[in-house]
């Protein structure tokens, strides 16, 4: 019994169509949701280290930058710069971590695209002994550059 080219192509076509179909899409979606929920719970349990300088008033913005709030060793960064808060109008709470702009009533979370006002500088500038810290840099925070944030809003 000889298989014709036409029969061979039909069998090959059927094989590829059935092989490309998900076996159980409901289970696949459920496991993705469970993985997402588990990572959300892990994020909620981490304490975010926020570096802040003690100031009485808001210092003017010299520049603005846009980026994504992210964590590196549980330290708050915008892109690759450690965020150093230097305004009394930016506050935060833990579990889950939320940054509040008391002036604009904006709320920001890790993963949000934000715009920050302030300026950037070399990380070594934080080594000065005359800085009055509200929350000093954590030893786990590794950084080359810092963003001195006077304002932050979500985009």
Question: What's the pTM?
Answer: 0.65
| Three-class DSSP category at 107 | strand
Confidence of residue 25 (pLDDT cuts 50, 70, 90): very low
pLDDT 10s digits, 96-141: 999 999 989 999 999 999 999 988 888 888 887 688 888 888 888 8
Kindly give the residue spans of alpha helices, DSSP state H, lying in the chain.
5-19, 25-45
In a domain? residue 79: yes
In a domain, 72, yes or no: yes
Residue 123 is assigned to a structural domain of this protein: yes
Host domain of residue 116:
51-154
What's the domain count of the chain? Answer: 1
């Amino acid at each position: 019994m000889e298989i014709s080219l036409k029969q061979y192509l039909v069998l090959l076509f059927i094989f590829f169509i059935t092989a490309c179909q998900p076996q159980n899409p409901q289970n696949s979606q459920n496991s993705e949701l469970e993985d997402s929920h588990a990572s959300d719970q892990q994020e909620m349990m981490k304490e975010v280290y926020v570096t802040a300088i003690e100031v009485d008033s808001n210092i003017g913005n010299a520049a603005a930058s846009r980026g994504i709030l992210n964590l590196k060793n549980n330290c708050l960064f915008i892109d690759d710069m450690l965020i150093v808060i230097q305004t009394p109008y930016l506050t935060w709470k833990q579990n889950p971590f939320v940054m509040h702009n008391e002036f604009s009533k904006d709320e920001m979370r890790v993963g949000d695209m934000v715009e920050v006002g302030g300026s950037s500088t070399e990380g070594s500038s934080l080594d000065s002994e005359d800085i009055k810290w509200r929350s000093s840099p954590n030893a786990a925070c590794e950084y080359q550059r810092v963003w001195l944030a006077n304002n932050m809003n979500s985009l």
